Amino acid sequence: MSDHHHHKETFVTKYIFSQDHKMIAKQYLITGMFMGVIGVFMSMLFRLQLAYPDQSFSIIEAFLGKWGEGGQMTPDMYMGLVTIHGTIMVFFVLTAGLSGTFSNLLIPLQIGARDMASGFLNMISYWLFFLSSLIMFLSIFVHTGMASAGWTIYPPLSALPQAMSGSGLGMTLWLVSMAIFIASSLMGSLNYIVTVLNLRTKGMKMTRLPLTIWAFFITAIIGVISFPVLLSAALLLIFDRSFGTSFFLSDIFIQGEVLHYKGGSPILFEHLFWFLGHPEVYIILLPALGITSEVISTNARKPIFGYRAMIGSIMAIAFLSTIVWGHHMFVTGMNPFLGSVFTFTTLLIAIPSAVKAFNYITTLWRGNLQLNPAMLFSIGMVSTFITGGLTGLILGDSALDINVHDTMFVVAHFHLVMGISALFGMFAGVYHWFPKMYGKMMNKDMGYLHFWLTAISAYGVFFPMHFIGLAGLPRRYYSNSAFPMFDDLLHINKVITVFAIIGGVSQIIFLANFFFSISKGKKASQNPWKGNTLEWTAPVEHMHGNWPGEIPEVHRWAYDYSKTDENGDLWGGQDFTPQSVPIRDGEEEF
């Protein structure tokens, strides 16, 4: 247990080596935002290359130096940018930045605990995350180039240091950074699990937990199950690279020379990678879905529809996500029977996913919608979750996938369903809980502008991308100009790039709003959105231990919005009833 003496805090113990979950949440958020800026900026650079393959841009030379001489990036640099963009977005922004921020902020506050089960472990997990971010960031600048085997780092590009320039030191740093990242993530997850199981306040039964907490809790469990598999894959890869083993390489000749590798299998690596890689999609998505549940229910002023069905579908998604990894490997020559098994289990996920989408829409239906920025981003999240999810039905089917495997269709699919919808969930969370984090309000008008520009450009980028994918345009190609049959697609590629730049640049509005509001924002009231969950009963000014005096007790679930008594009047004359309000005479629990 962490200690709660009220000794004087120095700058270092308060802001740097903090053990307070609220401060650690902010540390995760700021680090994640920094990495996000890098990742988005990289995507703008490589999109320029795709749309204008033969043109020179001074910005390319300015940022890429010898890799962008004459304003044109090298193919190696292109691969490096795609690799680090993917890695940073998936792991550093949407895994650590999203889960790390909101699990830390909300778990203790919403379950009524004074802090995480172990404040010390929590601090270590942030600092390992920081260290891994630092290594990944610095790896961009190594002389031989950043890692460039794609975020999936398949061997042999990742296993043979001589394969390409980015296979050298850049790849080693990538592996070291990810190993540290995984250690951090495991510590964080164990802390979340123990905290949810053991530190709930009186009355907070598991069946009264807000859906955010259910989502964070289940996410932590899948993380603990699947991340260690990637850790072992990374370690074995380090062995192959540095200590002469051949786990992932079979007999290989390079330019007539026989390498010493014997008997390993690159496909083994794919199994290990995707055993994490697929659940990872849900490690990213579930927290965003949990946040969306809270924000939609609060701002529709209605109980979330099908609370128990939502818990059930979170669990079903979590379980199914661990047994479908093979759908990434349909073209590896797997036995068609095995392919059909993976097809079946993959398509099963459509059921709980559809349940969730249905429940969001039903919650919105006839609600008294408060369309603030958090709500808009949540609705946007549901929208991209559905549009992106539908193409998953095509990719999940082994027969159909073969046609579009490794094309831009795949890129379009996964950006909508996990990149953009998780990002929207994260934005919704920031707009919704900013008053809780910083005691200030963010500017609404800037929030609206940010939402509309981001949503329009997200669809502007990823909607047309489906069509160039269906037309056969491969992904991870530096230039398509060598293939005349793709010439017609160049125009679409330009449109996509223009939207990518608009979308990327409009994030400045968000950043400005965020940092400006921390110091200059309007002061927040204790419960600005009139929410029911416990965090809104804590004082605006942060304090160690979250509540002065006793921790509030819980008497009801989190979604008593617009509840009426037998006469049809609002209970207590207001359209919300916080979880800490006892059940009244004649009132029934949900």
Among 8, 30, 208, which residue's Cα sits nearest to residue 105?
30
As a residue count, the chain comes to 590
Cβ proximity to ligand HEM: between 160 and 418 the closer is: 418
Nearest distance from C-beta of residue 223 to ligand HEM, angstroms:
16
Distance CA 301, CA 296 (A): 8
Specify the long-range contacts of residues 549-552, CB closer than 8 Å, at least 24 apart. 551/112, 551/113, 551/114, 551/201, 551/202, 552/112, 552/201, 552/579, 552/580
Terminal-to-terminal C-alpha distance of the chain: 34
Nearest distance from C-beta of residue 400 to Cu ion, angstroms:
15
Among Cu ion, ligand HEM, none, the one that 278 touches (CB under a kind-dependent 5 to 8 A) is: Cu ion
Nearest distance from C-beta of residue 405 to Cu ion, angstroms:
13
Among Cu ion, ligand HEM, none, the one that 82 touches (CB under a kind-dependent 5 to 8 A) is: ligand HEM
Cis peptide before 156 (omega within 30 of 0): yes
Q: Under the rule (CB under 5 A), what is the footprint of Cu ion? A: 278
Nearest distance from C-beta of residue 551 to Cu ion, angstroms:
41
Q: Any residues with CB less than 8 A from the CB of 4 and at least 6 apart, and which?
A: 114, 115, 544, 545
Nearest distance from C-beta of residue 199 to Cu ion, angstroms:
33
Distance CA 367, CA 296 (A): 10
Cβ proximity to Cu ion: between 118 and 345 the closer is: 345
Nearest distance from C-beta of residue 328 to ligand HEM, angstroms:
12
Cβ proximity to Cu ion: between 62 and 390 the closer is: 390
Nearest distance from C-beta of residue 313 to ligand HEM, angstroms:
22
Among Cu ion, ligand HEM, none, the one that 150 touches (CB under a kind-dependent 5 to 8 A) is: ligand HEM
Other C-beta atoms closer than 10 Å to the C-beta of 563 total 20
Q: What would the two tokens of residue 100 be?
A: 């790390």
Among 74, 89, 87, 72, which residue's Cα sits nearest to residue 36?
89
Nearest distance from C-beta of residue 427 to Cu ion, angstroms:
24
Indicate the helix (H) or strand (E) that contains 253: strand 253-254
Among Cu ion, ligand HEM, none, the one that 352 touches (CB under a kind-dependent 5 to 8 A) is: none
Cβ proximity to ligand HEM: between 57 and 307 the closer is: 57
Cβ proximity to ligand HEM: between 43 and 387 the closer is: 43
Other C-beta atoms closer than 10 Å to the C-beta of 403 total 12
Beta bridge mates, 576: 561
Q: What is the CA radius of gyration of the chain?
A: 24
Find the residue with minimal CB distance to ligand HEM: 86
Cβ proximity to Cu ion: between 180 and 404 the closer is: 404
Distance CA 574, CA 588 (A): 17
Q: Under the rule (CB under 6 A), what is the footprint of ligand HEM? A: 40, 43, 47, 82-83, 85-86, 89-90, 94, 150-152, 411, 415, 418-419, 423, 461, 475-476, 500, 503-504
Cβ proximity to ligand HEM: between 43 and 299 the closer is: 43
DSSP 220: H
Helix axes 101-111, 266-300, angle to 10 degrees: 50
Nearest distance from C-beta of residue 225 to Cu ion, angstroms:
15
Distance CA 29, CA 480 (A): 37
Cβ proximity to ligand HEM: between 287 and 503 the closer is: 503
Distance CA 449, CA 561 (A): 29
Distance CA 541, CA 436 (A): 9
Among 273, 274, 251, which residue's Cα sits nearest to residue 263?
251
Nearest distance from C-beta of residue 323 to Cu ion, angstroms:
11
Among Cu ion, ligand HEM, none, the one that 494 touches (CB under a kind-dependent 5 to 8 A) is: none
Among Cu ion, ligand HEM, none, the one that 43 touches (CB under a kind-dependent 5 to 8 A) is: ligand HEM
Q: What would the two tokens of residue 442 be?
A: 């963010």
Other C-beta atoms closer than 10 Å to the C-beta of 518 total 15
With 0-12 / 13-18 / 19 or more C-beta atoms within 10 angstroms meaning exposed / middle / buried, residue 484 is exposed
Nearest distance from C-beta of residue 396 to ligand HEM, angstroms:
18
| Coil, strand or helix at 43 | helix
CB 506 within 8 A of CB 450: yes
Cβ proximity to ligand HEM: between 88 and 249 the closer is: 88
Q: What would the two tokens of residue 515 be?
A: 């940092």
Cβ proximity to ligand HEM: between 42 and 300 the closer is: 42
Name the region of 153 (left: φ>0; alpha: ψ -120 to 50; beta: rest): left
Nearest distance from C-beta of residue 88 to ligand HEM, angstroms:
8
Among ligand HEM, Cu ion, none, the one that 83 touches (CB under a kind-dependent 5 to 8 A) is: ligand HEM
CB 339 within 8 A of CB 347: no
Side-chain-side CA neighbours of residue 50 (13 Å): 31
Nearest distance from C-beta of residue 72 to ligand HEM, angstroms:
17
Cβ proximity to ligand HEM: between 110 and 292 the closer is: 292
Cβ proximity to Cu ion: between 177 and 345 the closer is: 345
Cβ proximity to ligand HEM: between 108 and 503 the closer is: 503
How many helical (H) and strand (E) elements, i.e. helices and strands, does the chain have?
Answer: 18, 2
